[in-house]
Amino acid sequence: MGTCCGDDRCACGCGSGAECACGPQCACGCKGRASRRRSGAVALWGGLFVVSVALTTVLATPSGGTGRAEGTKGASAAGTKEHDMAQPSEDEMKLWIEAGTPGANHRMLDQFVGTWEGKTTFWMAPGAPAQESTGTMINAWTLDGRWLRQDWTGDMGGQPFTGLALWGFDNIRKVHVGTWMDSLTTGALVTEGPASKDGKTFDSRGEMTDPTGVKIKTRMVIRVTSPTAHVMEMYETKPGQPERMSMKIEYTKK
């Protein structure tokens, strides 16, 4: 008998610190934190499987006397068949684990971790005078290195302004993805796009709707100019108009 690694809910069913009856290596195969993260995919598949079998058994059981006994037997057989059909293969489980594991494309974002001072220049309309403001962006990893959380605090037009972004990489679709929300709107801007091979340029696109109902296409370009500096440029395209730069933020690491 081996000792469970300490996973609160390992696949063999043993509790934290309990004596595992699965042999020298626990059935969950866990060997620390990394494996506990991978076990999330296993739990998901297992939960879906249990629900599937339960529903199949209930729906396959008719009511009434002898018919009930025969129905129960039939449901049991159907449940076994569903078990075989629903059980994920090793290859499928491997794909789930790979999809949920941060990799090199996430590590590209390590260079943005930390506290940054930002100088913002923005233009409300084509030909309008530039307006400036300042703020601070604090970037830190969350969800075990899957998403870079970005918290912005500053001002906009002389009023306090805060924003929140999440930036990561979708392993399935092979693209960097991001969201932006702030204290001036109730919507969220969702962007996605590629990065250069050297990780120095990120080009993402999205779409937002302004208060008048006009859909505006957006393009955001982030260029890393040094280990302590990068620039974000936001472009927008309104229907029937050429693309224009609407905002630029110059970041300097503190």
Q: What pLDDT, on a 0 to 100 scale, did the predictor assign at position 158?
A: 84
| 0.75 surpassed by pTM | no
Q: What is the dihedral of CA 94, 96, 98, 101, to 10 degrees?
A: -140
Q: What pLDDT, on a 0 to 100 scale, did the predictor assign at position 128?
A: 93
What separation in angstroms does the CA of 229 have from each of 114, 130, 223, 241? 12, 22, 9, 32
Q: What pLDDT, on a 0 to 100 scale, did the predictor assign at position 156?
A: 87
Q: What pLDDT, on a 0 to 100 scale, did the predictor assign at position 157?
A: 81
Query: What count of residues does the chain have?
Result: 254
The amino acid occupying position 34 is A
Instruction: Kindly state the DSSP code that residue 124 receives in the 8-state scheme.
Output: S
Of 160, 159, 138, the C-alpha closest to 149 is 138
Q: What pLDDT, on a 0 to 100 scale, did the predictor assign at position 73?
A: 52
Helix-then-strand count for the chain, H and E: 4, 12
By CB atoms closer than 10 A (0-12, 13-18, 19+), residue 223 is middle
Instruction: Kindly state the DSSP code that residue 213 receives in the 8-state scheme.
Output: S
Mean pLDDT, contiguous 10-residue spans, the chain (254 residues): 43 45 43 45 46 42 46 53 69 95 97 98 93 97 98 92 98 98 96 97 97 96 98 97 97 97
In order of their start, the domains of the chain are: 2-99 (no CATH), 104-253 (2.40.128.20)
Element at 117 (helix H, strand E): strand 114-122
